[in-house]
Amino acid sequence: MEPTLEQIFGNYTAWKADDATWFINFMNGSENIYLLEGDERALLIDTGYGVGNLRAFVETLTNKPVIVANTHFHPDHAAGNGEFETVYMSKGAELDALSVYGKGMVPFDLNALPHSDYDKIFVDEGFRIELGSRTVEVLGVQPAHCNSSLFYLDRGHRMLFCGDEMESAQVLLFDNSGNPKAPYDVKERLLNFRSNTQKMKDLSGEYDYLLPNHNGFPIAKSYLDEYIELVEHIFDGTANIENRLNHPYLEMDPKAPGLCRVRWKHGSIIINKDLLMTVYGTGN
């Protein structure tokens, strides 16, 4: 029997990465949510699709009050926000809101969640989330994968949570806001992506674990260098362009025929091919 959408999107498992950090896994093993415990509070990073009662699952892992924050405002990361009273997020969530709340974006009734009118607290670079003997710093991110990304740095446990701005399999850089009024310029996105990646590299002495939300966690810091090189080789016109996406979820998307994968070493980006070709080989 084929699994239902509720089973795919709302079946959670978890394991401990250390004595105070849980990795919560769902989406058939392809995606993580993170739970960080301090002496007084716990921080939940991302909330999934809004199905399967994530909050009840989290409460089996910790008895501490839970603070919630989003790495970015996309449906697989923020649709479950309404299970909680308050969520920290980037101001850019306003530009990406239709990716969650637009018609047909999520196959579940988000208005049925207990706090569908939850409070949004916009945070940016320098904001600190105090958990009690554990501090998580918010790092600002320029629009690349989306308009609403934030990084979360835990210097004490030497972890950097980077959302979808870095992955081992690929980074998605096509316009995915669902908002026709949201700005998107392909050259700017590529340069922003390189800048964000350089920021992670510059901070690499502050963390041991680089933790994206998809496709492997933790991942090697060497990916940072290879993604920086990838952007440079796009502008040089020497990166490898592949028309086959090799991404089963994306291949079902109406956008798929217009997308391509561009690769250098172990780094690859999925992006609109026509837009890519406007900057490919043009220099930086």
Separation CA 96–CA 94 (nearest Å): 6
pLDDT of 52: 93
pLDDT of 1: 72
**For residue 92, what are the contacts with CB-CB under 8 A and spacing of at least 6?**
72, 73, 143, 146, 147, 148, 149
Q: What are the pLDDT digits (tens) for 95-109?
A: 999 999 999 899 899
CB of 146 closer than 8 Å to CB of 174: no
Residue range 5-277 forms a domain whose CATH class is alpha beta
pLDDT of 216: 80
Strand order in the sheet with 21-26: 13-18, 21-26, 31-37, 42-45, 66-69, 86-89, 119-122
**Domain residue ranges of the chain, discontinuous segments joined by +:** 5-277
- pLDDT means per 10 residues, the chain with 284 residues, are 86 96 92 98 98 97 98 98 99 97 92 97 98 99 98 99 97 93 96 99 98 92 98 98 92 93 98 98 91
Quick one: DSSP state of residue 219? B
CA quadruple 183, 186, 188, 192: dihedral sign: positive
pLDDT of 224: 98
